A and B are shown apart, each in its own frame.
Chain A
Amino acid sequence: MSNAETANYNGRKWRKPPFIKNPYKRWSLIIISVVYVVAAFATMEVDWQRAYEGLERGANFILSFARPDFVTRFTEISEGIIESLVMALAATVVGVAISIPIALGAARNISFLPIYLICRMIIAISRALNEVIVAILMVAIFGFGPLAGFITLSFSTIGFIGKLLAEEIEKSNKVQAEAIRSTGSSWMQMINYGYQPQFMPRLIGLSMYRLDSNFRHSSVLGLVGAGGVGATLNTAFSRYEFDTAAAIILIIIVLVVLLEYLSSLIRAWVQ
């Protein structure tokens, strides 16, 4: 260390280096964000008077969690909940069954280009369309009832499982599969022996996860007439029967927690 290097640092300023180095970019980003937030609030039409009047009702609703009413609409609630569960379960089974071939087709490493493109498109459409919109269309086509909800949930399961499973297959170890292939096996045999053992644990994990998210989704489909407990909930809210609504919400929460716990158990058991 030379003398020149023992410079005097006294008074040298230090500031944390900014996240975006270029000051023009940084400031324009900040200004755009501020302008956006201001504009968003300015164009938001809020009826504060109405909102203020609602506070009392809000307090009522929160209080109704202390005395949820399971009894008055017991039949509707129990039928709705069972219907939701049934839809979720059936849709998970069918959705997973369909998504396996689609995932195989959508995995670049084992599929052929035309099939790959078709499968990827199915996955993309399924992921882009919100369940509720699909449910509306299905109700229009198949009529009111759980069948529309079942088809909706199966369809969205395909997008979810198909994408993640295809990624898993693309990641999987080629050597194992090639070893099987080199024994002179067919394509089906190669999938069955070379790839299936690799993606099976992940598939089971994803299916279990999907079961509980299907149940969560199934509770809203009733709002558009596609079956499940949503219809009962909708009626309860529109009649301001908050204690019934609170009961339904509590049941949903408990069931979701139970399903989540169950699925974590099964996932741990598989891995």
Chain B
Amino acid sequence: MMFSLSFNAQWVLLSTLILGMAAGIMGCFAYWKRQSLMSDALSHAALPGVVVGFALMGTKSLPVMIAGAAASALLGALLIQWIRSSSRVKEDAAMGIVLSVFFGLGIMLLTIVNRMPGGNQSGLDSFIFGQAASMVRKDVYIMAGVALLVLLISIIGFKEWKLFLFDPGFARGLGLSSRWMNSIYMAVLVLIIVIGIQAVGVILMSALLIIPAVSARYWTNSFLWMVVLSGLFGGGAGMVGTYISTLGKGWPTGPFIVLAASSLFLVSLAFGVRKGLLVVYLQQRAQKKIHVQSMSHAQATERGR
């Protein structure tokens, strides 16, 4: 299947593979910090930054747009934090506010920029649903580079991450600064989101962080294996989805990647060895059988007496 594609398409496939792996790994961290929907809020909040980055340069320059996206996503994260900590508005409402208001601002700016000369052909719209095919070689390098960096950060500090997620009190006792860990975590999460939005789009980027982690949860109780599996699921979904989206003309990449991920989720839900539906059903039936047998045995001895 790889050989029927052009050279550029192969690069795009490879980069969505790496992106999916990195997102899958980060997704596990977000899952255990119970911040799955934070990624949704942050990816929406990145849109104004993307548009401003474009408007500043006048052309589509990925590094500037990524920087803009990162700045506005971080601003969104800080606002959520600020609203939550200094008012009685709860975190979910704070995320909803930041998500919708930033996205609204992004659409406002997008409409203005699209009216500028040359703005309409820029393919800025493809940032909403993702258009992996619109990436050029340089974009692919940047994306793959950042994704590899994220992979490295999570592998090198794996033990620290584990402590930070599951026993923050103990981590503090060991001298790990939870503030630093939190900042690194947030920075890496934002980084993954902003490099992913060109391929997957701002609306569906969160799916690539959430779905692989949830699917991996059905196969194992070990965090290490969950991270590995989630990375594999994410990478697989990224590649398969991108491949399918190249089959039709002008098909957006993001939705297909998400559908590939959700198919994996359904398979995991049905057949996963931990709490998968089939396993739970078989266990329940086996228990029922044992129960019924012991009951009838007890009845038999009672009658015999």
Q: Do A and B come from one complex?
A: no
Interface set of A (CB-CB < 8 Å, partner B): none
Interface set of B (CB-CB < 8 Å, partner A): none
